[in-house]
Structure 1
Amino acid sequence: MTIWNLGSINADFAYGVPRLPGPGETLAAGSLTRGLGGKGANLSVAAARAAARVVHVGAVGPDGRWAVERLLEYGVDTRHIAEVGEVTGHAVIAVDPDGENCILIWPGANVAIPEAARDAALAEARVGDRAVAQNETNGQAAWLGTAKRLGLSTAYVAAPFDPQAVGAVLEDVDLLILNEVEAAQLEAALGRRVSDLGVPDVLVTMGAAGVRWHGGGGAQDFVAPRVEAVDTTGAGDTFAGYVLAGLDRVMPMAQAIGQAQVAAALMVARPGTADAIPDLKEVQDARLGP
C-alpha cells in the first residue's frame, strides 16, 4: 500500500550552542549545518527508510529544488510537490550539548500548497492506503476529510500543537500522535481525556519515559530504549514515520511502536534531522537496552 503525506518541507539551519538562549540573551554558536527538515519531510523520509512506499504532497519555492531532490534520493515519491512563488519553508534550530533544542520556523511555501496538488494526489490513492498530515501546512482538515471519505486510513501528528487544529480533524482521524505536553493541553482545551476523544488509536510520546498507547481496549505503556541524546530534533517525526510504515506492513500496533522507538532512539544519538534518520536495517540490527 501507499502512505500519502501532506507535509512541510524545510531547510533546517542548525546551530550548536553552549546552552539554549534566554530572553534577550545573545549567544555565539559553535557550529552551523544546513539540512533537509520540516515535520512532513522528516516523516516521509522515516517512512521511506522503513521500507514503505511514500508519496509526499507539499510545496517549495524556486530555492527549494535541492530539497525535492534530497527527498527523491531517500526513496520518496515527489511527483506531487508543487513549486510556488513563496520562499521554501525554513527553520532556525539551536541545539545545546545535552541535545535539547529550540526552533524558530518560517512556513513559507508550506502554507501555500495548491488545492489542485492535494486533489491530484488523492485521486491516485486506493482504499486501504494511509493519509497523514501535521500542523505545518494549509489544507489539513480538507485533506484528511477527503481521504477518510475515499476509504483511506488517516493519521494526524499534532505538532506544532494547536487545539483548534486538532479539533478540526478529530472526527476524520484513525490515529492521533502527540507528546505528553500536547496531550495535557488538548485535554484542558476539550475537557476530555485523550482516551475519550473517539479516535481509535492515540499514541502519546513521553521522551525518555517511553510511549503510551490508548487503543485496543485499554492503555499500554512502552519503555523507551536508553541512549545518550545528542540532538532530539526530528525524533518525534521519525517515530511517527516508522509507526505508519510498520502499520502499513500489517504489523500489530505494539510491534510498530517498538520498532519506531528504536528508530527514534538511534535518531537522537546523532546530530541532524531528515539526513540523520536511520534505515530499516540499522533499526533491525540495533541492540538497545531499556
Structure 2
Amino acid sequence: MILNFGSINLDLVYRVPHLPAAGETLASSSFEKYLGGKGINQSIAAHRSGAQTLHLGCVGPDGDWLREQIAGFGLSLDGLRTVTTPTGHAVIFVDDSAENQIVLFGGSNQAFTTDQFEAALAQADPATDWVLCQNETNNVPKMAQLAKAKGLRVAYSAAPFDADHAIPLLDHIDLLAVNEGEAAALQSALGKDIQSLGLPYLLITKGSKGATLYAGGQQFDQDSFTVTPKDTTGAGDTFLGAFVAELSASDDPAKALQFAAAAAAVQVTRAGAAPAIPTREDTLSFLKANT
C-alpha cells in the first residue's frame, strides 16, 4: 500500500504562443480544466502503475467535480476530507514548445490536521507500506515524524522547493526526490553535498537528460527515452509515482528507475497532467518497443 498525503488541485490550463513576460497580455488558443496537484498526480501514477494506493487529501465545498474525477481514475475517496477552505487550484500556461508556467493557490491543501494523519497511519503496515508527501500541503514535517515513528518508509518530493520546508524533513525520510535545480538549491542551503546525507534513496531527475538514483551505496543512471513532447506538466509526478510503485513491488532500484522513465516518456506525449498518466500496460508496452 502507498499512502499519499498530498495536494488536490483544479488545474486551469491555457495554451499560449509563448510564456508571458512581466506585464504582457496574451490571447490563449485553448482552455481546459483538469484534476491536478502534485499529490493526486503521484497517487494516480502509483495506482496506474499497479500499486494499491490510498490518497489522503482535502477539498473545499466546491470539490464535487474533483471527487468525481478522482473516483473516475479508480482511486478510493475514503481518504478525502471536505473542509471549509476553497479547493486548491493552479493556473497553468503551456507554450508551443511544451514548456509550462504555473501559479498555485494552496486553499484546502493547507487544511491537513494531525488527527487526519494519525487515523490513516494507524491502518498502515510498516513491513510493506510507503508514505508519500510533497511541499504543496501543510504539516508535512509532523506527518513524516509520525510515519517514521511507526516504522514506515517515507518518500518526499521536495517541490515546490523551499529550503526551510525541506531541511526539517531530512531526518524523517527514506527517499528524497528532487530535480537538478532543487538538488543544487538544497545543497547550497545545507552547505554540503546532499549525497553525504546518507539517505537510503536519493533520486535526482534531470528532465531530458534522464535521472540518477543513489541507493545502497550504488549509483544508478537512467537516460530519458526519446519522444516528441506535447505537454510536460506532471512529468515529474508521473516519474515519482511510477518509481515508488515499481520499487515497492520489485525492490529493484534499476528496474524501478527504468519503469519510471518510460512512464514519464509516455505521459509527456499526451495533453494534461493526470489524464495523461499511463497505465502499467501502457508503460510496459512502451518499454517493450523501446528497449
Cα distance between partner residues in 2 of 1:248 and 1:72:
23
1:89-118 deviations in Å (ceiling 9; x for gaps) = 000000001110000000000001232222
In the TM superposition, residue 173 of structure 1 has moved relative to its aligned partner by 0.7
Cα distance between partner residues in 2 of 1:107 and 1:170:
23
Counterpart in the other structure of 1:31: 30
Cα distance between partner residues in 2 of 1:68 and 1:178:
29
1:85-164 pair list within 5 angstroms: 85-128=84-127, 129-164=129-164
1:134-184 deviations in Å (ceiling 9; x for gaps) = 000011111111111111111100100011111111011100101000000
More divergent stretch after superposition (256-265 vs 212-221): 212-221
Counterpart in the other structure of 1:280: 280
Counterpart in the other structure of 2:56: 57
TM (normalized to structure 1)?
Answer: 0.97
In the TM superposition, residue 125 of structure 1 has moved relative to its aligned partner by 0.9
Counterpart in the other structure of 2:262: 262
1:17-66 deviations in Å (ceiling 9; x for gaps) = 00001111111000000000000010000000011111111100011122
SS in 2 for 1:85: coil
Cα distance between partner residues in 1 of 2:242 and 2:60:
28
In the TM superposition, residue 219 of structure 1 has moved relative to its aligned partner by 2.4
1:60-79 pair list within 5 angstroms: 60-79=59-78
The alignment status of 1:165 with 2:165, answered yes or no, reads yes
Counterpart residue type for residue 168 of structure 1: P
More divergent stretch after superposition (110-119 vs 235-244): 110-119
Cα distance between partner residues in 1 of 2:166 and 2:186:
8
Q: 1:11 touches 1:37 (CA, 8 Å); kept in 2? A: yes
More divergent stretch after superposition (54-63 vs 119-128): 119-128
Q: 1:134 touches 1:157 (CA, 8 Å); kept in 2? A: yes
Question: How big is the alpha-carbon RMSD for the aligned residues of Structure 1 and Structure 2?
Answer: 1.2
SS in 2 for 1:271: coil
Counterpart residue type for residue 192 of structure 2: R
Counterpart in the other structure of 1:194: 194
Q: 2:153 touches 2:174 (CA, 8 Å); kept in 1? A: yes
Cα distance between partner residues in 1 of 2:3 and 2:171:
19
Counterpart in the other structure of 2:238: 238
Cα distance between partner residues in 2 of 1:73 and 1:31:
24
TM (normalized to structure 2)?
Answer: 0.97
Unaligned runs of 5+ in 1: none
More divergent stretch after superposition (192-201 vs 238-247): 192-201
Cα distance between partner residues in 2 of 1:50 and 1:141:
27
More divergent stretch after superposition (56-65 vs 218-227): 218-227
Q: 2:2 touches 2:53 (CA, 8 Å); kept in 1? A: yes
4+ residue segments displaced more than 2 Å: 287-290
In the TM superposition, residue 289 of structure 1 has moved relative to its aligned partner by 4.5
Counterpart in the other structure of 2:223: 223
Q: 1:16 touches 1:96 (CA, 8 Å); kept in 2? A: yes
In the TM superposition, residue 282 of structure 1 has moved relative to its aligned partner by 0.4
Counterpart in the other structure of 1:178: 178
SS in 2 for 1:286: helix
Counterpart residue type for residue 49 of structure 2: A
Cα distance between partner residues in 2 of 1:163 and 1:176:
13
Q: 2:239 touches 2:261 (CA, 8 Å); kept in 1? A: yes
Q: 1:226 touches 1:289 (CA, 8 Å); kept in 2? A: no
SS in 2 for 1:169: helix
Counterpart residue type for residue 140 of structure 1: V
Unaligned runs of 5+ in 2: none
Counterpart residue type for residue 243 of structure 1: F
Q: 2:234 touches 2:273 (CA, 8 Å); kept in 1? A: yes
Counterpart residue type for residue 66 of structure 1: W
Counterpart residue type for residue 233 of structure 1: T
Q: 1:179 touches 1:204 (CA, 8 Å); kept in 2? A: yes
